Amino acid sequence: MVAGSVIMGISIDLFVRAGWGLDSLSLFQAGLGNVFHISLGTASISIMLLVLVILFFIDRKRIGLGTVLNSLLVGTSIHFFSPVICTGTPGMGERILCLAAALVLMGVGIGTYVAAGIGEAGMDAIMIYLSSKFKKNVNGTRVLMDISLSAVGFLLGGELGVATIISMLINGQIIQMTLKMFEKIRKSKGSGIPAQHSGRIEEKG
């Protein structure tokens, strides 16, 4: 859980460094950060804590230790790594490498914390709740959430770009690959990823 959350924080800083837009959730957070004049890391922590409060009232069974840790660690990691990653003006080659790394690490980070099996991150829990409540498949719900978050974030001044679109298209596939990797590792040790997590991510992709 800790490793996956930190990897997610690093990936968001790499999106910023690449300069071609952010993933949907980070775009939304950046838009709110722009409105309230706070950093991306602070916006991330604030939104995730707000999501925790919402989850407590609508579907508290989805809150676990991992939900709380992820909410705090992603934003903290953005703060910690930003002074190292987001410095200077990158050349085109560096921007391409940063974008490629950001896209891969975002999916790997999500897959890693989900594989821990100790609670869903706030937005993932909201997604599952909405999918169940309105009887829609998870993949369709995720796409609608991504589009909504991106649109609102853009209107609030966040940076929408090609990276946002690519992230929507490939993030689920990388998550699935990461989960399959952990599943093979755990099966070799006589255990497996809880079916509930594996199934949800399969649907998301």
In the predicted model, is pLDDT for residue 198 greater than 50? no
CB 146 within 8 A of CB 44: no
In the predicted model, is pLDDT for residue 205 greater than 50? no
CB 56 within 8 A of CB 64: no
- Quick: pLDDT tens for 124-136: 778 778 877 887 7
Q: Where are the domains of the chain?
A: 2-204
* Alpha carbon distance 7, 115 (integer Å): 14
- Quick: pLDDT tens for 125-177: 787 788 778 877 766 777 788 888 989 999 998 888 899 989 888 887 888 78
* Alpha carbon distance 85, 148 (integer Å): 28
* pLDDT score at 11: 94
- Quick: pLDDT tens for 48-100: 888 888 888 888 777 888 888 887 888 889 889 988 887 778 889 999 999 99
Report field, pTM of the whole predicted structure over 0.85: no
Q: Which of 3-7, 89-93, 201-205 has the lowest mean pLDDT?
A: 201-205
